[in-house]
Chain A
Amino acid sequence: MHVSRREVLRDGAAAGFGMSASMLLGRQAKAADDIAVGSILDATGPINIYGLPMIDATKFAVDAINQSGGVLGRKLRLIEADCQSNNQVYAQNALKLILDDKVSVLMGGITSASREAVRPVVDKYSAAYFYNEQYEGGVCDKLVFCTGVTPAQQLGVLVPWAAKQHGKKFYTLAADYNYGHISADWVKVYLKAAGGELSGEEFIPLDVVNFDSVIQRLQSAKPDVIMSLLVGGNHIAFYRQFAAAGLKEKMAIVSATFGLGNEQVVLKPQEAEGIVVIYPYFQELDNAVNKDWVAAWRKRFGANYTYVTDSACTVWNGWHLWAMAVNKANSLDRDKVIAALETGLTFDSPEGTIRLDPKSHHVVHSVHLAKVNNKNGFSIMESFANVEPSDTMKVCDLTANPNEHKQYTPKF
């Protein structure tokens, strides 16, 4: 194939122009004394079901902090990166934000795998890092603050409630990855304490959409309660196929994961109605802080916003806790900020009052039991305040052991 001289020059010029133009576009206007802060989340790729509301919440939180005067009288300049649901891109973006943009705090990560790809970078270059998402618990790292809800906070309340409400025979369906396994182990612990029995436990790979065999085994086992720890778009198929088999009236479903990925929106009301879940935050929470918060959210992002998720509130909490700590420490120095974060800060979150536990770097949440209603949302049933992340608190004491940088997995 003969390539003409003209073609090569034209193509080369186009490529070169395109590259340099796009490099210039990336630059944001820097004000003289603003504070760079970083956020790494997934706007694209399969994880963006969780990521997109979290990205919105990040912008919402940073703008709110700036509107109320910023931090130390200075505005925050948010630098965001999209990690495309790819762990290695997480590591690279963490590096860029920490080393190149020199952010004062890094927030982000959605899956535990992404957090574990970011933590080595954070540890090596000693940056403060907030992981604002529900996860399996156990991270014990001086530089890391995990503001999401952990299994003890959900299952410690949900399991005894379900055993009392529906019956003592449980069957666990868990997504086959770390969170699913660890949560399933906690289910066994709390079930035993509640005097129940586990008639079956299954781990389902994340890309399974055919639940025939599972549903058949459920019909053989006839549990009172199905404890669902299923995660992701593909696992939504279970709820659909379960309802199609007419089993919704026969077995109750409770879950610590349903709703994180807007399952209640994707399923039709008659398929999901009645499923009981437990989270720190629901869009429907009826307190003054939340009412204003949701109204402001809708004003900013549209009245038809799909659903303000628990992860979004967790992100909001994380940013505000950090901002409070910086103001309290009256400094951006990392060690001083971490010390301020370890003073037992409390914050009036849309979920209720929360407290950052100094020793474990995790948050004491208010959790609420709710069930799926017929309007693609939730109806709150009962609220519990001051539920501690006892799973992590039992093993992690960072004020006594400040040099820890690991994740504990519970041994039962």
Chain B
Amino acid sequence: MAPVRLSVLEPLLWAAGAVALAVVPFALSTFQVVQITVFLIFCLLAVSLDLSWGLAGLLSFGQAAFFGLGGYAYAILCANDETPGVALAAGTVAGGVAAGLLGYIAFYGRLSTMFLAVTTLVVTLILLQVLGSTADPSYHVGAAVLGGYNGMTNIPPLLHEPTPFFWTAGGLLFLVIVSGRLLMAAPFGRILAAIRENERRVELLGYDVRGHKLAIFALSGAIAGLAGALFASWGGFINPEVFSLAQSAQVVIWVLVGGRGSLYGAAIGALLVQAMTQYLGYIGTAYTTLVLGALLVSFVLMMPNGLLPTFLRGLSSIGIRQR
């Protein structure tokens, strides 16, 4: 995959996206606004993985862990009477610090990519065990009782009204995608892309490979933490289920379905899979997981590069040029 050059069309796309985000809530019912808000939060989580994986080639099953830590940080601070804005920032920092720590051990210890994946998975499962064991009221951080598997509930939201919160989540997603795309076209992003392609060569050229990897991994962790804090604010609850194998795999599935490397693909994948999951459950039969599983399998067989690349390639073959 060649490094990104932003086409002329892209800023137009951004402008259109910004307008859409601003205007769309007025055309939708309250439910739809709230519903799409959580999809936007998941898109943010997927984009965080794409930054680390699609751009830098660092597959991590730990995005769910950083997401969960961000959510818990938000919940704990809010329960200790901190303002939600500060709690949101704390969630972001929590995700970033955790990722930084894990990244430091991984990259400065020269773990291979495959084992970064397993290590992040193992850490996530450890968090699941540990937080699941906190059912006793004696497990608390200040005034915040951790609650074990029940988790924490009635968490104060960042904003009470659905539409401003929609704008906040959507705005943050927009900011992250735009900055991410700019990053990809900037020297920092190009170095990361080169590291993804051939790490040794980049090292021989004199760049600080480990520092770059650590930076992008910490950044992706921070974004995942931000998404987690937003999620805790959205739902008013956070529980250890976010640290499960299923949730960790889910983030990877979103990026695989949408196509990795473009950031847009990850967002589209998250939106599609979550909307499908939600919809299948709502029509409420006993076939939900059967259909979801079958869809995933057919997807991999028929559209292996993910939705967006296949779609774009299809567009160019129909004759719509990309530039």
Direct contact between the two chains A and B in their complex (CB within 8 A): yes
Classify the secondary structure of B's interface with A.
helix
B288 and A43 contact, CB distance less than 8 A: yes
A88 in the interface (beta carbon within 8 A): yes
Could you tell me the distance in whole angstroms from the C-beta of A109 to the nearest C-beta in chain B?
A: 12
**Known contacts A96-B31, A113-B150, A176-B132: does B38 contact A5 (CB below 8 Å)?**
no
B154 and A177 contact, CB distance less than 8 A: no
A100 in the interface (beta carbon within 8 A): yes
Bound CA–CA A181/B315 (angstroms): 58
B129 and A26 contact, CB distance less than 8 A: no
Bound CA–CA A239/B129 (angstroms): 24
A43 and B286 contact, CB distance less than 8 A: yes
Pick the interface stretch among A29-37, A79-87, A186-194, A217-225: A79-87
B241 in the interface (beta carbon within 8 A): yes
**Known contacts A91-B237, A113-B151: does B137 contact A411 (CB below 8 Å)?**
yes
Bound CA–CA A3/B316 (angstroms): 9
B145 and A409 contact, CB distance less than 8 A: yes
B34 and A120 contact, CB distance less than 8 A: no
Q: B-facing mask of A1-36, CB < 8 A → 1, else 0?
A: 111110111011000000000110110000000000
Bound CA–CA A52/B145 (angstroms): 33
B154 and A120 contact, CB distance less than 8 A: yes
Q: A-facing mask of B96-117, CB < 8 A → 1, else 0?
A: 0000000000000000000000
Bound CA–CA A411/B137 (angstroms): 8
Chain B: residues with Cβ within 8 Å of the partner, total of 50
Bound CA–CA A8/B315 (angstroms): 8
Taking CB atoms and an 8 Å cut-off, the chain B residues in 20-55 that contact chain A are 29-32, 34-35, 38
Which among A7, A89, A405 has the highest number of chain B CB atoms within 10 Å? A89
A48 contacts which chain B residues (CB < 8 A)?
A: 286
Which among B38, B129, B133, B283 has the highest number of chain A CB atoms within 10 Å? B283
Bound CA–CA A182/B136 (angstroms): 8
A116 in the interface (beta carbon within 8 A): yes
A137 in the interface (beta carbon within 8 A): no
Contact of A177 among B30, B132, B145, B282 (CB under 8 A): B132
B285 in the interface (beta carbon within 8 A): yes
Bound CA–CA A131/B289 (angstroms): 24
B284 and A43 contact, CB distance less than 8 A: yes
Q: Which residue of B lies closest to A119 (CB)?
A: B153
B314 and A26 contact, CB distance less than 8 A: no
Bound CA–CA A116/B155 (angstroms): 11
B135 in the interface (beta carbon within 8 A): yes
Taking CB atoms and an 8 Å cut-off, the chain B residues in 290-322 that contact chain A are 290, 302, 310, 313-315, 317-319
**Known contacts A26-B282, A44-B288: does B154 contact A178 (CB below 8 Å)?**
no
Bound CA–CA A12/B307 (angstroms): 11
**Known contacts A177-B132, A177-B149: does B281 contact A93 (CB below 8 Å)?**
yes
Could you tell me the distance in whole angstroms from the C-beta of A53 to the nearest C-beta in chain B?
A: 13
Bound CA–CA A113/B151 (angstroms): 7
B277 in the interface (beta carbon within 8 A): yes
A81 and B314 contact, CB distance less than 8 A: no
Q: Which residue of B lies closest to A411 (CB)?
A: B137
A2 contacts which chain B residues (CB < 8 A)?
A: 317
B236 in the interface (beta carbon within 8 A): yes
**Known contacts A93-B278, A96-B35, A177-B149: does B284 contact A3 (CB below 8 Å)?**
no
Bound CA–CA A403/B318 (angstroms): 62
B147 in the interface (beta carbon within 8 A): yes
A43 and B285 contact, CB distance less than 8 A: yes
A82 and B132 contact, CB distance less than 8 A: no
Bound CA–CA A52/B285 (angstroms): 11
Bound CA–CA A7/B303 (angstroms): 12
B261 in the interface (beta carbon within 8 A): no
Q: Give the interface residue-count category, chain A.
A: 35 or more
B302 contacts which chain A residues (CB < 8 A)?
A: 11
Q: Which residue of A lies closest to B303 (CB)?
A: A11
A91 contacts which chain B residues (CB < 8 A)?
A: 235, 237
B31 and A95 contact, CB distance less than 8 A: yes
B286 contacts which chain A residues (CB < 8 A)?
A: 43-44, 48, 52, 82
A123 in the interface (beta carbon within 8 A): yes
B248 in the interface (beta carbon within 8 A): no
Contact of B236 among A52, A113, A121, A176 (CB under 8 A): A121
Bound CA–CA A88/B246 (angstroms): 12
A117 and B289 contact, CB distance less than 8 A: no
Bound CA–CA A3/B133 (angstroms): 51
Could you tell me the distance in whole angstroms from the C-beta of B140 to the nearest C-beta in chain A?
A: 11
B241 and A113 contact, CB distance less than 8 A: yes
B239 in the interface (beta carbon within 8 A): yes
B148 in the interface (beta carbon within 8 A): yes
Could you tell me the distance in whole angstroms from the C-beta of B74 to the nearest C-beta in chain A?
A: 14
Contact of B34 among A95, A182, A407 (CB under 8 A): A95
B314 and A3 contact, CB distance less than 8 A: yes
B318 contacts which chain A residues (CB < 8 A)?
A: 5, 8-9
Q: B-facing mask of A43-65, CB < 8 A → 1, else 0?
A: 11100100010000000000000
B35 contacts which chain A residues (CB < 8 A)?
A: 92, 95-96
Q: Which residue of B lies closest to A118 (CB)?
A: B237
A406 in the interface (beta carbon within 8 A): yes
Bound CA–CA A182/B239 (angstroms): 18
B237 and A87 contact, CB distance less than 8 A: yes
B235 contacts which chain A residues (CB < 8 A)?
A: 88, 91, 117, 120-121
B129 contacts which chain A residues (CB < 8 A)?
A: 205
Q: Which residue of A lies closest to B29 (CB)?
A: A100
Taking CB atoms and an 8 Å cut-off, the chain A residues in 118-133 that contact chain B are 119-121, 123-124
> What are 5 A-to-B residue pairs whose CB atoms are below 8 Å?
A84-B288, A89-B277, A116-B153, A120-B237, A409-B137
The 10 closest A-B pairs by CB, nearest first: A120-B236, A8-B314, A99-B31, A177-B149, A100-B31, A181-B135, A116-B153, A80-B284, A178-B135, A44-B289
Extra inter-chain contacts (11) besides given A43-B285, A176-B133, CB under 8 Å: A1-B313, A5-B314, A8-B315, A82-B284, A82-B288, A86-B246, A92-B278, A117-B235, A120-B154, A178-B135, A205-B129
